[in-house]
Every structure is written in C-alpha cells, then in structure tokens.
Structure 1
Amino acid sequence: MTMENLFGIDQHIAWFDLGNGVQRKVMSHNDQLMVVKVRFAKGAIGELHTHPHIQISYVSSGKFKFSIAGDEHILREGDTCIVPANAVHGCSCLEAGELIDSFTPSRTDFLDPR
C-alpha cells in the first residue's frame, strides 16, 4: 500500500448515483475493511438485502428506520447499528441524511460501480 492509499480525501472522491435518491462514496478501503458514505434523500429506500460482510452503520445526519433480521428501530444522528453477516437488512430514510458504513471484509462489488 502506498502512502496516498492511506487517506480518503472527501473532496477528491466523487459520489456515485445509485438512483432513487441514494448516492454512495467509497472513502477508504483495503482487503479487510471499507468505509463508505451513503447519502439518502427523504423517502429513499435501502432495499432489503443480504451480503456476507459484517456491517456497522453510523448515522451522521438524518433519521432512518432500519430493519435487521426482522427487528426494526428508528435511528437518528449519532446512533449506530451492526448488521451480522448474511442478515436480511435495509432502511428507509425518514429525514434526509447520511450514513457512514463500515464493512469487513471489503465490499469489492462497490469498487466497480458499473
């Protein structure tokens, strides 16, 4: 890893539009860990899905209704949740905001946004 790969400089990283009011920005990653920003417009949905990665989400702004393995909670700025590997999960955005998601291992599917 070169020194320039150790830092994710926000202003140098473009948002990727996922459609329907959701945008993603991969900030920093290596094979074991990834940090991603996900921006949601009010009413946008993170559809129910699963993946083999462990995920922690931090609500940096906004208000979200999260569902993890059938358990639902409203999360606000400063709140977190952990998504176990292969758990069915998703969220709906109640107030426009942004999540900071960490994944282990890294989500290689996020690296080629085509």
Structure 2
Amino acid sequence: MNTLIEDKEVEWLDLGGGIKRKVMAYDDQMMVVKVAFEAGGIGAMHSHPHTQASYVASGKFDITIDGNTKTLKGGDVYFVPSDLVHGAVCLEAGELIDVFHPLREDFL
C-alpha cells in the first residue's frame, strides 16, 4: 500500500463529457478520489451504498442531494449519506475531492 502519494504519479481516467477522475488512495475501508470537471460537465444523478464526503477544491458546482440543490464553490463541502440520489453540474471548471466509505470497488 502506498501511503505517500504525489499527484503527478497518478494518471487521469477520462470519463467523457468533460469529466476525468484519479483514484488517489484507498484501502478496503476508505477511498480518496479527485474528479476534474470542465464547465458544463455533468455528474449524472445516481446513488450508491457508500457514504460520501466531497470537498470542492476549485470551481463552481450546482450540487443536488435528495432533491435539494445548492451552488457550491471552492472551499465548500457536501456530504451524501448512503443511498441518497445526488449529482453535480459544473458551472465553472474545477475539481472535487471525494472520500468514500467503504471504497468504491467499481472505480478500480
């Protein structure tokens, strides 16, 4: 397990639609993921059994959780309890730092 990770050592995975992702670190209990959005990129509405906490590192996003939408910008945080429907629309290019518990096996 790598415990000291440099950003330059992790490659981006292009998800299409102006979105790319880097799985930065994980074990079976937790995962940290960087997600970069171009303006207009859409993180489609979805749900998963994982608890998610996300830090808006930069940019501006409309974040919807369980039918409630709020515009968040760099420095803001959102929290998604297990199984709630959520999604994002990028208003100004930026990055999200997502933390999942447990890890998202589907990202590996």
Unaligned runs of 5+ residues in structure 1 are: none
Deviation of 1:9 after TM superposition, in Å, equals 1.8
> What's 2:14 paired with?
17
Distance 1:7 1:90 in 2: 30
**Residue number among 74, 80, 83 corresponding to 1:83 in the alignment:** 80
Aligned counterpart for 1:52 among listed residues 44, 49, 54? 49
Task: Please give the alpha-carbon distance, in whole angstroms, between the structure 2 residues aligned to 1:74 and 1:45.
Answer: 14
Look up the equivalent residue of 1:76 and give its one-letter code: K
Number of residue pairs the alignment of both structures matches? 108
Q: CA deviation at 1:20?
A: 0.5
TM-score by length of 2: 0.98
- The residue aligned with 1:101 is 98
**Misfit runs of 4+, over 4 Å:** none
Secondary structure in 1 matching 2:8: helix
Once residues 8 and 20 of structure 1 are traced to their aligned partners in structure 2, the CA distance between those partners, rounded to angstroms, is: 27
